[in-house]
Amino acid sequence: MTLAPFVILLLAALVGYAINLRAARAIRYGGSRLHSLQGFHGLFSLLLVIVPVLTLILVWLAVEGGIINRILLSSLPDGVLDGLGSGAIQLIGAEIRSIAGGRVFGTPEDWKLEAAERLITYREISSWLLVGVVGAVSLGLIYFARSRVAAEFRARQRVETITLGLMVFCAVVAIFTTIGIIAALTFETIKFFQLVPITEFLFGTNWEPQIPIREDQIAAEGAFGAVPVFLGTIVIATVALFIAVPIGLLTAIYLNEFAPGRLRKIVKPVLEILAGVPTVVYGFFAILVVAPALRQFGESLGLDVASNTALAAGGVMGIMLIPFISSFADDALSAVPRSLRDGALALGATRGEMMLNVLFPAAIPGIVGGVLLAVSRAIGETMIVVMAAGLIAKMTINPLDSVTAVTVQIVTLLIGDTAFDNPKTLAAFALGMMLFIATLVINVFALRIVRKYREIYD
């Protein structure tokens, strides 16, 4: 039944298109010169129907449930809701809805069964009403669009305006989503800082978020010093960049300047496959292959290697970042004008000298931008570290030790039985906020560098 309004809308739009197209064509064959091509008259009708009616359907579907619920609750027999809190009333509503959906638990009271039947009726009325309204509005809009068809009617401009509006809307969706995410994070973070002082969070060196959930539970008081957690992220990201930056850059330089065409044709797609491997698969790789191998190797050297080392997690993350950096660097190197290559070669520079002294310096802002974006990916990367890094926050920069990461802590804090009013859960939001700010700063910085670099050659 929810499908019906959409089908009607689609048909109405097509009918409107056809009617306006025919009308415009008739004017043209009548000897008048149309201002806009007949197709635009058709599109005008199509868009004029689709945009408002689709909005109407979506709004209707969004508010329908709430309104029906209110009517339903007010139709309940007097007295059953007296003295109940809002949570209990919500529960009753949910129970009625599940009875209406055919899922009956136990033996509900008669008034609940009656209410469920009423609910079904209300829903039917609502959907028929929607179909009626959609049909009527569509007809009205088709008629209006048809009445506008005239030789001098500027259908093309109208279509362009509507399309422009749609594009603006799509662009704004992303912006508002971002604002929404920031707002959600901010509110929870503020709540957290009301429970835990911000100085303890920012400068404390002890991270033990285990706190009692129930009164009788025995657990530590909980300590929320985020320094060791961030230190862990920094250690892992550093290891990752130590692997990704040199390998990625040398790959890019080789592919861009020295590789024979055939090899380049093979290596580039392989790198793209590497970029397409899901991070959870990298996680497997880290935990099943790299970590044991590292441990074995370390033991053969007499080193004390933890089973969840920062080196394993960071190393695999580095492999994940190689295609990211190499493709960025490759783009930056390719963007250096050919005339500069020729200029250096014509002076008798070898290809190596040309790369080192001319291409690389010219491309370095773009490369730095790419590396910074890789940094923000490294500190935001979750799956690999959740699988391969440790859980205990330690104040260490030893890559052979087990460290935890910000994203790991966020995941573990939000898993399991959680209440949204204790510091353990809220700490996840504070960590998320910090991570968000860090990556935002790095991204802004990176984009500025990339943009500055673009200005040189355009």
Partner 1 sequence: MNDMRLTERNMTDHKIKMQARGVDVFYGHDQAIKNVDVDIEDNTVTAFIGPSGCGKSTFLRCLNRMNDTIDVCRVTGDIRLDDEDIYDPQVDPVQLRAKVGMVFQKPNPFPKSIYDNVAYGPKIHGLATNKAELDEIVEKSLRRAAIWDEAKDRLDQPGTGLSGGQQQRLCIARAVATNPEVLLMDEPCSALDPIATAQVEELIDELRERFSVVIVTHSMQQAARVSQKTAFFHLGELVEYGETSQIFTNPQDTRTESYITGRIG
> Contact positions toward partner 1, by CB under 8 A?
261, 337, 339-350, 353, 357-358, 361-362, 456
The sign of the CA dihedral 59, 65, 68, 70 is negative
- Minimum Å gap between C-beta 330 and partner 1 is 18
108-119 as b/e: b if 16+ CB within 10 A: eeeebeebbebb
- Minimum Å gap between C-beta 353 and partner 1 is 5
- Minimum Å gap between C-beta 57 and partner 1 is 56
Answer for the pair 225, 300: CB distance below 8 angstroms, yes or no: no
Q: Residue 232 burial (CB < 10 Å; 0-12/13-18/19+)? A: buried
- Minimum Å gap between C-beta 347 and partner 1 is 4
Closer to partner 1 by Cβ: residue 8 or 358? 358
Closer to partner 1 by Cβ: residue 210 or 350? 350
Closer to partner 1 by Cβ: residue 238 or 334? 334
**What's phi and psi for 208, nearest 5 deg?**
-140, 85
Instruction: Give the residue among 129, 114, 102 at the shortest CA–CA distance from 72.
Output: 114
Closer to partner 1 by Cβ: residue 197 or 337? 337
Task: Pull the structure tokens for residue 427.
Answer: 């700490």
- Minimum Å gap between C-beta 415 and partner 1 is 51
Number of other residues whose CB lies within 10 A of the CB of residue 9:
20
Closer to partner 1 by Cβ: residue 214 or 338? 338
Closer to partner 1 by Cβ: residue 234 or 362? 362
Closer to partner 1 by Cβ: residue 179 or 347? 347
Closer to partner 1 by Cβ: residue 73 or 345? 345
- Minimum Å gap between C-beta 269 and partner 1 is 20
Answer for the pair 308, 291: CB distance below 8 angstroms, yes or no: yes
Tokens 């309204």 label which residue? 133
- Minimum Å gap between C-beta 450 and partner 1 is 16
- Minimum Å gap between C-beta 272 and partner 1 is 23
- Minimum Å gap between C-beta 356 and partner 1 is 10
- Minimum Å gap between C-beta 449 and partner 1 is 15
Closer to partner 1 by Cβ: residue 296 or 357? 357
- Minimum Å gap between C-beta 352 and partner 1 is 10
Closer to partner 1 by Cβ: residue 70 or 351? 351
Q: 208: which strand partners?
A: 223
Own/partner long-range contacts of 136-140 (Cβ < 8 Å, ≥24 apart): 137/52, 137/53, 137/56, 138/8, 138/9, 138/12, 138/13, 138/16, 138/49, 138/53, 139/12
Closer to partner 1 by Cβ: residue 224 or 453? 453
